[in-house]
Amino acid sequence: MKKLGVVLMVLMLFSIGSLYADSDMAADATHFITGELSFVGAGIHYEYMITPKLGVGARAYVDGGIFTSTQGYFATVSFYPLKGVFFIGANAGWRIITIFPDTDWETSAGGFTFAPEVGWKIDLGKPGGIYFKPGIRLPLTYMGKSEVEKTDGTKEEVASFWPGFTPYIGFGWMF
């Protein structure tokens, strides 16, 4: 149900965004709203451009697979070294991971996440309107410490990390 809500919200935002696509206001845009889709999830990203090459923002997403589902809430920073097309970014925030090993039980845990990101923001039509945004995020979530049993029977406390790989495509508009 959450996924349906995110998809409907993204579609609504695209509909409203077309109002700004042809206006003179879009040429001086400093606000970007992007709806993102990955293989198994969806999200939304807001970005404010502090300078022509540096943006800060917020991102939220949900996704699910056969054995897991995740949701994340992040603060973002993006650097555009090549005239605003290619970007390098970083996301920092909280990710909740739910694991469904079978139908009898489930477990859920959250942790601090850092996710480097690269991608492109490509104008569709004249600059300052609707854009296409493909990219890749590599989230790494620290889930705290857990106790593991070694082969010799002794137990040791180790840090628990949950890596991820998220290719995505996004469409958005500037205003």
Question: Which pLDDT score, from 0 to 100, does residue 15 have?
Answer: 39
146 pLDDT tier (thresholds 50, 70, 90): low
- Euclidean distance between CA atoms 56 and 153, whole angstroms: 49
Q: Which two tokens stand for residue 153?
A: 């029977």
Q: How many Cβ atoms from other residues are within 10 Å of residue 161's Cβ?
A: 12
What would the pLDDT profile of 12-34 be if each residue is shown by its tens digit? 444 334 333 443 434 467 899 99
Q: Which residues contact 16 (CB under 8 A, 6 or more apart)?
A: none
**Residue 75 bridge partners (DSSP):** 58, 92
**Token duo for residue 29:** 């845009």
Q: Which pLDDT score, from 0 to 100, does residue 125 have? A: 81
pLDDT, mean of residues 79-96:
91
Predicted model pTM: 0.74
Model pLDDT, residue 57? 98
Strands (E), 22-165: 31-38, 41-51, 54-64, 68-82, 86-99, 107-120, 122-123, 130-137, 140-149, 155-163
H-state helical runs in the chain = 2-21
Can you tell me the mean pLDDT for 33-40?
93
User: Is pLDDT at 103 greater than 70 in this prediction?
Assistant: no
CA angle (37, 39, 40) in 5-degree steps: 90
More confident residue, 73 or 151: 73
Q: Minimal CA–CA distance to 85: which of 116, 52, 59?
A: 52
Mean of all residue pLDDT scores within the chain: 80
Which CATH number covers residue 152? 2.40.160.20
Minimal CA–CA distance to 161: which of 112, 117, 118, 116?
Answer: 112
Residue 102 domain boundaries: 2-174
The total domain count for the chain is 1
